[in-house]
A and B are shown apart, each in its own frame.
Chain A
C-alpha cells in the first residue's frame, strides 16, 4: 500500500484503521499469570492552594485482580486522574500505600515502575517516527539489533501499523496516533496498562471502534488495565468492574450491571444513565428488601444496604423500566395517574415526561408502534415491574 506521506490519512476511509486487529497473526506478549495486582490502601492526595489544602483524593482503598479491566469513572474533578497518576508515579500520595504484586511502588520513580501509560494527548514523541516511538522503551531496556526489531515489528503488526513504521506522528490521523501510543505501551510488556482518557480526542465513531480493540488486546495479553474516563458508555462497554468516584472518594465499586441496577448512592444513580427518583413511604427495610408505598401502590422492592439506616430514601426507576398506558377514565386520581407533558420521538424509542403527584417521571418506550405513540395532554397510568425499583439512601455523604 502506498500512501502520500504529506496527506493526513482520514481515519474513517483508511482500510488499515478499519480492519480488525489480527491478533492470531501477530504475536502478542502475554502477561505472566497471576500478576498485576495493584493495591491502594487508604490513599490521600492533598494539594496546597491559596486557601489552604485542597483534598483531591481521600480514603481510597482499591485492589485489582490479575488480568482485570478496572475503570475509574466520575465527573471532572472527582480525583480519578489524580488516582491514576499516583499509581503511575507522577504524583506522590500525601498518605497511604500503593503496591503492585506486593512490592511498594511509592519508593520508585515512574521510570522504575513496571507499568505503561497511554495518555489523553497520546504524547507521541514528535521528533521520532512511528518505529522509533515504539522502540524508545525497549532500547532503554537494552534491547537491540534483531531482537529489538522483531519486538517492535510485532507490536506494530498487532496494532495494524506495519505500513506506517516510517511515518512521523504528525502524518497520522488521530486513530492511528492512538494505536501507536498503545503499541508503544504494549511493547514494554508491563504488568499493568494505565489509560488516561485515551479516547476523548477521537470522533464518536472511532471511539466506539477503538474501545473494542483496547478491550480485545487487553484480554489477549491477559494484562491488568486501569482506565480513567468520564464517559459512562466507555466504562460500561470496557470494564470488568467500574469504580465510581465522587469528590475524591470512591462511591461504589462493582460490575457494570451492579452499578447500573443497584447503585449505592444517589450520586452514582444520577451519574450513570438517567434516573427517576420517586418519593416513597417506607414501611420497613430488612435483608435487602423493602416494603414501600410508591406511585400510590404498596410494593416490595430490592433495597441498598445503606438505605436501612438512612433518614431519607428514594426509589430509583430507570426510564426504560417505566410503563405508560392510557388511563381508562379521567376519574382516576391515584398516585399512579398523570398527564403527558412532553413526547419526543427519537427513532428507536420515544421519550415521555409524565407529570404525577410524585413529580415528573421520564419514561422511554423502545420501538413503539406508530399508532401507539401517546401525545402531550394524554391522561396516563404509570407503573414499573416490581424488581426494577431500587430503594436507596438519599442522605448527603
Chain B
C-alpha cells in the first residue's frame, strides 16, 4: 500500500475551493437545547423589554421621555438617582474592601463570625433592614431618640445610604475577598525583600492590583442601588428616585406609558454600567482569580490593625443589631414603645392572607428554583463548551435578569403579560399575569422568579466549567454519548457545587424579590414581600418583622435542605476535576 505525498509548492495550495466544502455532521440534540434556551430567554426577558421600548416610544410615552430632561421635577429625580448610586457605590465598595481586607490580610480574632455576619445581608428580605433602621434611628428611634434623646430625620438620602450600604456591601465583600486571597503572597514578599515596609507595599503593590476590583464593585453597587425599589419606598421620604417614581406612575397614577418612559431612562444607565463592568473592567483585571497562590500571605500584625478591626466590628455590629431588631420586633408589641413579649404578630401573619402568601410564595419559589438552576447550568454549558460564535450573546441574554432593574422587569411583565397577546384576531398567548390571568397570575410570577434567578447559577456554572478539562467532554463523546447525555451524566455531576450555588441563590432571590412582581400580583396569588410592604405602609412594623423572621427562616432552612440533597451522597468528597494527575 502506498501513501500519496501531495505535490509540493503548487500555487493552488493556498485556499481550498469553496465548491468542495465539507457537509458537516449535525449535532441535533445541541441544536434543540440551544433553540429551547434562547426561546425561553426571548419570552422571559427580551419580549417584555421590547414591549417597554414600544410603549416608551409611543406618542404618550415619548412625550414623557421628552419632558424628562426639561421638567425640573424630573431632572431632580434623575439627579437623585445618580447621587444615590454614586454615594452607595462608593461607600459600599469601601466597606466591602475593609471587611475583605480584615478577613484576608489582618491578624485579628473572630474572623469566622465577621465572615458570616458580612454575608448575612445577602439573604435579607426587603424592608427588613429599612424597617429595623427606622425603629433604631428614626424620629422615635430606640437609639437616636430613646438613648440619645435626639430629634433626627432618617428619611431621605442619609437613611437610604445607610440601609443600602448595609444591604449591598456583601457583594463588594465577596468580590474583594476573592481577589485578595488570590493575590500571590510572593508579590508582597518580593516588595518586602526589596525594602518596602507594610504600608508602602500596600500602597504600591496591593492597591494598584485591586483597581479593577474597586471599579467593578462600585459599578455593581451603583446598578443595585438605582434598581432598588423597596428601600426608597420605605425610607426614601421626599428623596424620589426613578424606581419609586415608576411605582407611583403605575400604582398611583395608573399611567403605564409614563411608567414605561421612566423605565427606559432607568434601564439605559443600568445596562450601560453593567456592560462596562462585565465586559470591560473585568477584563482589565491583572489578578488571576483561578490561580491558587502558593503559601499564605503575611498578616498585618502591627498596631495599625486595631483601628481596622474596630471599624469592621462596627459594621458587623450594625448588621447584628439590625437582625436582632427584626427578630425582637417580631416578638414584641411595638418595639421601642411597648416592649411587651407577644405572639400576636405571628398569629396575625400565620392566619388568613398572611398564611396564604407564605404558602404561595414558597411553592412558586420552589417551582422556579430548579427551572432557573437548570437553565443557568445549560447556558453555562452552551457558552463554555458548545457555542463558538454567539457565546457572548447567550451569556449576555442570561445575565439580563440581573442587569435589568427589577422595577423595569415588572413594568415589562405588566405590559407584556397582563393582557392576552392578540394579533390579527388570534390569541397567541393568554394573559399570564394580573387579575384576569389563568392560575391567578402564578405563571407570570414563576417566570419573573426564573429570569431573575438564572444569573448567579449561570455565573458559577461558567466559572466551574472553565476549570474542567474539555477533553472530559470529548472522552464522553468518544465513548458514544451524544451531547445531551454528556451534559446529564458528566457535566452536571462535575459542576454539582455550582449547581447547588445556583439553586440556593435562585431560591433566596425568588423569596425576597419585590420590585418585579409588585405590578403583576393578583388577589388570588399572594406574595410575602408584597404583604410585608402593605404591613410597613400601614405602620404595623411588628407584623412586618414577623414576616421577615419567617421569610428568613424559610430561606435558611431550604438552603440547608438543598445543601444536604445535592451533596454527594456517596461521601466521596471533593473530586479533582483536572482529569489528569
Contacts and interface: CB of A to CB of B under 8 A. Distances in A.
Interface of A: 42, 44, 46, 53, 58-63, 65, 88-90, 92-97, 106-112, 115-117, 119-127, 136-137, 140-141, 168-170, 174, 177, 181, 184-185, 188, 194, 196, 201, 241, 243, 249-253, 264, 397
Contacts of A115: 478
B22 A96 contact: yes
Interface centre among A137, A177, A397 (most CB of B within 10 A): A137
Interface stretch (B114-122, B445-453, B466-474): B466-474
B472 A125 contact: yes
Nearest to B472: A123
Nearest to B9: A397
A57 to B, nearest CB: 11
A95 B494 contact: no
A177 B472 CA distance: 13
Interface stretch (B13-21, B255-263, B272-280, B427-435): B13-21
Contact of B469 (A121, A127, A170, A184): A121
Contact of B1 (A65, A141, A194, A196): A65
B23 A107 contact: yes
Contacts of B13: 58-59
A268 B21 CA distance: 31
Which of A65, A115, A119, A250 has the largest count of B CB atoms less than 10 A from its CB? A119
A95 B23 CA distance: 9
Nearest to B492: A127
Interface string B556-581: 00000000000010001001111111
A116 B478 contact: yes
Contacts of B59: none
B9 A121 contact: no
B426 interface: no
A121 B479 contact: no
The residue in A58, A65, A94, A111 that gathers the most chain B C-beta atoms within 10 A of its C-beta is: A111
B537 interface: no
B3 A110 contact: no
B579 A126 contact: yes
A53 B24 CA distance: 19
A120 B579 CA distance: 10
A141 B578 CA distance: 27
A185 B474 CA distance: 12
A115 B478 CA distance: 7
Given A93-B22, A106-B25, A140 B481 contact: yes
A96 B482 CA distance: 25
A330 B155 CA distance: 106
Interface in B437-471: 469, 471
A106 B27 CA distance: 12
Nearest to B6: A59
Contacts of B580: 121-122, 177, 201
A123 B479 CA distance: 12
Contacts of A89: 25, 477
Contacts of B474: 88, 90, 110, 117, 119, 123
B493 interface: yes
Contact of B477 (A110, A141, A169): A110
B152 interface: no
Contacts of A96: 16, 20, 22
**Chain A CB within 10 Å — which of B21, B478, B494, B577 has the most?**
B478
17 contacts: A61-B5, A62-B3, A95-B22, A96-B20, A106-B22, A106-B23, A109-B483, A117-B478, A119-B474, A124-B472, A125-B476, A136-B481, A140-B481, A169-B575, A177-B580, A185-B479, A243-B3
A243 to B, nearest CB: 8
Contacts of B21: 94-95
Given A106-B25, A250-B5, A95 B477 contact: no
Nearest to A252: B5
B476 A127 contact: no
B468 to A, nearest CB: 9
A117 to B, nearest CB: 4
B187 interface: no
Contacts of B471: 119-121, 123, 196
A141 B25 contact: no
B475 interface: yes
A120 B485 CA distance: 23
B1 A92 contact: no
A264 B21 CA distance: 31
Contacts of A397: 8-9
A96 B20 CA distance: 7
Interface of B: 1, 3-6, 8-9, 13, 15-17, 20-27, 469, 471-472, 474-483, 485, 489-490, 493-494, 496, 568, 572, 575-581
Given A137-B479, A168-B572, A94 B22 contact: yes
A126 B477 contact: no
A115 B475 CA distance: 11
A86 B21 CA distance: 15
Contact of B490 (A60, A117, A125): A125
A184 B479 contact: yes
A168 B575 contact: yes
Contact of B494 (A42, A127, A184): A127
Instruction: Tell which of A93, A125, A177 has the most Cβ of chain B within 10 Å.
Output: A125
A112 B477 CA distance: 8
Contacts of A169: 575, 579
Contacts of A127: 490, 493-494, 496, 568, 572, 575
A252 B6 CA distance: 10
A223 to B, nearest CB: 15
Given A181-B475, A250-B3, 16 more contacts: A46-B15, A95-B16, A115-B478, A119-B579, A121-B469, A124-B475, A125-B476, A125-B490, A125-B494, A127-B568, A136-B476, A169-B579, A170-B575, A170-B576, A184-B475, A252-B5
A95 B14 CA distance: 12
A110 B5 contact: no
Contact of A61 (B3, B17, B482, B575): B3
A250 B579 CA distance: 32
A93 B474 CA distance: 17
B172 to A, nearest CB: 34
B494 A61 contact: no
Contacts of A170: 575-576
Contacts of B22: 92-97, 106
A195 to B, nearest CB: 12
Given A140-B485, A188-B480, A126 B3 contact: no
Contacts of A252: 5
Contacts of A122: 579-580
A89 B26 CA distance: 11
Contacts of A168: 572, 575
B1 A63 contact: yes
B488 to A, nearest CB: 12
B579 A124 contact: yes
A126 B16 contact: no
Contacts of A106: 22-25
B478 to A, nearest CB: 4
A253 B581 contact: no
Q: Which of A59, A62, A112 gathers the greatest number of chain B CB atoms within 10 Å?
A: A59
B3 A253 contact: yes
B480 A140 contact: yes
A63 B580 CA distance: 32
